[in-house]
Every structure is written in structure tokens, then in C-alpha cells.
A = this chain, B = another copy of it.
Amino acid sequence: MEKPSLPKGTRDFGPVVMAKRQFILDSIKKVFQKYGFQPLETPTMENLTTLTGKYGEEGDQLLFKILNSGDFLKDVDLQKLNSRDSRLITHSISEKGLRYDLTVPFARYVVMNRHEIALPFKRYQIQPVWRADRPQKGRYREFYQCDADVVGTDSLICEAEIILMIKEVFKSLKISDYTVKVNHRGVLSGLAEIVGAKEKETALFIAIDKLDKIGEEKVKEELRSKGFDDKSLDVVFEILNKEGSTATKIELLTNSFSTSEKGKKGIADLSAVFQSVKDYGVSEDHVEFDISLARGLSYYTGCIFEVKINNVAIGSVSGGGRYDNLTQAFGAKERLSGVGISFGVDRLFDAMEELKLFPEETQVSSMVLITHFDSESQRYGLKVLQTLRNNNIAAEIYPDPIKIQKQLDYANKKMIPYVIVIGSEEMKSGLLAFKNMKTGEQTKIGIEDILNTLK
């Protein structure tokens, strides 16, 4: 028999990893709820008509598709079948795909439930997504996203709250060295506009997005090949490379963008967002206006965000921004603007491991293991166990009659911090041997004292 294995790019999460992941997920969820976001869950499977065409051509190829049930070949066009062209046949044998992100299902939900939803609608969603990407370090085929979005308002207070939420999440995760990069698509449009390359805006976004990865020279090369001349590139990179405070950058851009409406709008929005953060009484620490932040995905139209943990070799752990008309793709006529943030749990997990930020090796485990010498003491132990559980203490009894040492080994392996040993003496006196597994300390005390110690 073949040894069982996991599909490429997928993982089991055992008890130790689960406890850590749960800590991250709970921290994020608490912040989302504190900011008035409400939970939503959508199905793992979506119709391919919902998913296809929403993530660009590359995205379409990375969708996991579900084979139709039953005799899936029945209605396939014979000619197509004989062509052996997979692309021609896919849609005849597959109608459903796996969730690729949380944003498109959210937009579908909003359109389908438009009349029951109170606008502005603030929802959070914490679920896995699937991408048929080539697996590599830090990139999986199944991974969790934690998204919070508001739709139905243009208010820039929402952008400010995204910055606040990011800061609060990182505080509760005890990650102290990180940067929230903020920019605005209008600023990038303005850049294109002032060098007379309004129609090459997208090429500019795409090239700038690679700055981190390939460096200034290669980005310039790419832009030259797209028709940007050296003079334009000088103007663009003088601005992109501007160092200094947010105020300095805003001043520079205000002057530069005197002829660009989009640029002006970008600067005005960003100024309002930074002002709002101040109005909340929250410091601007960790927040950086990064003119070179582009965010590849093309549906953003306003402010954009990205969070990097410093001194850790892991890409961005969170990102988001404002988008217009997300629901348009589903035929909604009403214009619904939205803004959202997404946290990547798997990267946060890897970063926190690297920074050793998780509390000492911990598991979701019992507080107490009850051990025993024979069936009589085990039977006595059941009542003790019940008393512990009645007091809401997670506890268990070793189920089999084996040597005490083996029972203690089990407690150690499961990181159970306390053990009660029950023998004939304990049954007589009612004073139970109570052992702290960390210190090795052992006392003989009654159940009431044990309860008090544990509470």
C-alpha cells in the first residue's frame, strides 16, 4: 500500500500550530469586531461564471475547478473532445471552482442581498482560499485570508480606520517593528499625467510595482521600452525617491500636481486621511506615505495600503485599498464604492515564528491529567475529574491502566501543566498528590485547594 500523502501546497495543522494560528485569527477578529465589522461566510465553491474574468487571465488559470458530478462527458461536443484541447472542454465538464479570494464572493453577496443589507455595510470574512500556484516557501495552494471591507460610502474616515485597525492588530500580536505604507492611485496617475503619459498610466503602475523586486535601473529600462523618455523618468524618479516626512512629500506633490486633477485628488484624500488619524488622537508612528507603493491589482482607485514587517525576509503581510464599482461586474447599476484590508495569516505566522513572538511552546490542552495505579483508583479519579470539569477546568484522566511514569510522559508530551496522582493512600485521606509538571513540585492537598490553585 502506498504511503498516504498531502496534495502539493497544502498542510495539516496539528495542535501546536493550531494554537498559534488561532491566536492570530482571534486577534484579528477581535479588532474587526471592535470596529463594527460583522461576520460573513461564503461557500467554498462558486459558480465559474462568478469567478471567471475577475482576476485577469493569470487568475483564471490559477482557479481550481470542480469536475461536474455524474457522467460529465455526456454533453461534451464530440469535435471539441477530439481536439484534445483542454481549454475548449473545461467549461463543458466543470461549472464550479474554489474560492480564489474573499473580495469577489463578497461583491456577489452584496449584489444578491442588496435589499437586506444596511449600507454602509461593514463585513469581515475569515476563510481559506485556493490558488493553483506553484508552491514555494511561504506560498501555499490553500491559505487563509482575513478581510474587512466597508462598501457604500466614500468617507475617508474608513481609510483612517484601516490604519487604526492595522496598528491595533500588530499591537495585539506584539509585532513592534513594522511599516504601514500608504499611497493613492491618484498620486500615481498624477505622476503619469505630469510627464505627459496619461494613457501609459497602467504601464507605470505595473513597472513601479516591481521597484522592490528588480530595482530602479530595471524599472527604468522597462519604462523606456514602453515609450517613457529620459526626461520623464528623471521627473518620475525624483518624486519617487523623495525622502522625508509626510508633510514634506505632500508639499512637493502639491507643487508638482498643479496641472493634474487626479494628482490633486490623491493628495487631498491622503491629507484628509492623515488628518483623521490625528483627530482620533492616534500617533502616526509606523505610518509612511510611500509614493512608490503601487499594489499590482488593478481594481484599486483611491488610497492603497501595504504592511511590511521590518527585518524579516517575508513579503507584505497585509494590503488593501479603495475600489469603485466592485459590484459592477455583477451587473449592479448602483455605484458602490468600498475600501478594504486583507491580512495574510500564513505570512504573519511565519514572521512571528521567525521573530519568536509566540508565547512559549503552547497547545490547546488540558490543565490537569489525573493518573492512577489501578482500576479502583481510576474509578475514584472519575469523580475528581468531574469536579474539575464542573468548575470549568479542562481536564482528563489517563484512560488505560499503565505505569505512572508512562502517564506522566503523556502529560509532558501534551504539555499538561498539572497532574493529580491517585493511589490507595489518597483515596483514604482525600488528600491528593498534586504535581506541577514544570517545577516538579508536588504537594498533598484536598480538591478544594486544588481548585483554588487552578483558578
Q: What is the interface of chain A, defined by CB distance below 8 A to chain B?
A: 1-7, 10-15, 18-19, 22, 33-36, 38-47, 49-50, 61-62, 64-67, 69-74, 76, 78, 81-82, 84-86, 89-90, 93-96, 98, 108-109, 111-113, 116, 118-120, 122-123, 128, 130, 132, 141-142, 150, 153-155, 157-158, 276, 279-282, 330-331, 363-366, 369, 378-379, 382-383, 385-386, 389, 392-397, 399-400, 409-410, 413-414
Contact = CB atoms under 8 A, between A and B. Distances in A.
A24 B96 CA distance: 29
Contact of A11 (B43, B62, B76, B281): B43
Given A36-B369, A276-B382, 9 more contacts: A19-B39, A44-B142, A64-B66, A71-B86, A74-B84, A81-B84, A157-B378, A158-B399, A281-B386
Contacts of A46: 6-7
A349 to B, nearest CB: 13
A153 B89 CA distance: 50
B108 A153 contact: no
B132 A399 contact: no
Contacts of A128: 44
B43 A112 contact: no
Contact of A34 (B34, B118, B392, B397): B392
B66 A40 contact: no
* This chain: copies in complex: 2
A96 B9 CA distance: 12
A389 B84 CA distance: 60
Contacts of A86: 70-74
Contacts of A76: 84
A437 to B, nearest CB: 14
A365 B330 CA distance: 28
A141 to B, nearest CB: 8
A94 B67 contact: yes
